[in-house]
Chain A
């Protein structure tokens, strides 16, 4: 085991030496890749809001799910509103029909009389 560690250490030293001889263009490309990665961290980290105490901070990124929840809630509220308005409208229409029938000169039984409907139709012709 000690021999293994000794060999591994020696190889490690040589491998570390090889890092110093990396071509400049490779080093530059690695640096550019690092810069791009860091820029990405800043983008994805979200906006940091300073806490009121000045020591804490709230990461808005943690409340990202709210952004998905709000449209869903708005859609549900819209559908509920439309359904309520539709029901209300139908109730009002029914009430109007009932009122018209009740204040009409004809008795209600006339509307249920098939013969009366046929007589009206013939009269129109």
Chain B
């Protein structure tokens, strides 16, 4: 069984990355915090008696499931919201994803190519995070687990519940999409 210290060390090590992963997926800090908290609670409550070496993989599995659950709940909620907000004029419906943000990024990308040197480190970081957010969910999940969490292909496949071949494909597509999108913004890696 993992000791409280081992569990504490693991959570302290992964909590910020887990939060960021959730933010990239759900694009809302509060929801991301809730997701990470639920994942931590579930790991401690249900799997706290497992050996310490099993916990990182279990935590990632719980976290990814929590993110998927959030999307399921949001889908159900938005179905009812749409149903009841049909009377409202078009464009007034509450929406977290501002289409202008995407438009801005696209417009900016043309001008940014020649001004790459002027882009500060913080701006590069912001651009990368935005592009990571834009990745399709499965590609982002594979990329995060494989390269940020440093899991091997088999572990990533186990967490994602897919084949190792799919993990490789998702990772490859994600990396290429990021490279192309960042290059368009004048950021070469």
Interface set of A (CB-CB < 8 Å, partner B): 4, 6-12, 14-15, 17-19, 21-22, 26-27, 29-31, 33-34, 36-38, 40-42, 44-45, 59, 61
B146: chain A residues within 8 A (beta carbon): 8
Point out the residue from A9, A14, A41 that lies within 8 Å of B48, measured CB to CB: A41
A29: chain B residues within 8 A (beta carbon): 33, 37
Contact A19 B189 (CB under 8 A): no
CB distance from B49 to the nearest CB of A (A): 6
Contact B132 A15 (CB under 8 A): yes
Point out the residue from A11, A27, A31, A34 that lies within 8 Å of B178, measured CB to CB: A11
Interface set of B (CB-CB < 8 Å, partner A): 1, 4, 7-8, 11-12, 15-17, 19-20, 29, 33, 36-37, 40-41, 43-46, 48-49, 121-122, 124-125, 128-129, 132, 143, 146-148, 171-172, 175-176, 178-179, 189
Point out the residue from A8, A15, A21, A30 that lies within 8 Å of B33, measured CB to CB: A30
Residue of A nearest to B16 (CB): A19
Residue of B nearest to A33 (CB): B37
Point out the residue from B12, B16, B19, B175 that lies within 8 Å of A7, measured CB to CB: B175
Contact A36 B37 (CB under 8 A): yes
Contact A9 B147 (CB under 8 A): yes
Contact A34 B8 (CB under 8 A): yes
B121: chain A residues within 8 A (beta carbon): 17
B179: chain A residues within 8 A (beta carbon): 7
CA distance A125 to B122 in the complex (A): 115
Contact A37 B129 (CB under 8 A): no
CA distance A6 to B147 in the complex (A): 11
CB distance from A67 to the nearest CB of B (A): 17
With A33-B36, A38-B7, A59-B49 already in contact, the answer to whether A11 and B44 are too (CB < 8 A) is no
Residue of B nearest to A22 (CB): B16
Contact B15 A14 (CB under 8 A): no
With A4-B176, A34-B12 already in contact, the answer to whether A11 and B4 are too (CB < 8 A) is no
Chain A to chain B contacts (Cβ below 8 Å), 10 pairs: A11-B132, A18-B125, A22-B19, A31-B15, A33-B15, A33-B33, A37-B43, A40-B41, A41-B48, A44-B45
CA distance A30 to B7 in the complex (A): 14
A8: chain B residues within 8 A (beta carbon): 143, 146-147, 171, 175
Which of B8, B122, B125 has the largest count of A CB atoms less than 10 A from its CB? B125
Given A7-B179, A38-B4, 16 additional A-B pairs, CB 8 A: A12-B147, A18-B129, A19-B16, A22-B16, A26-B19, A26-B29, A27-B16, A30-B15, A30-B33, A36-B40, A37-B40, A38-B11, A41-B45, A44-B44, A59-B1, A59-B49
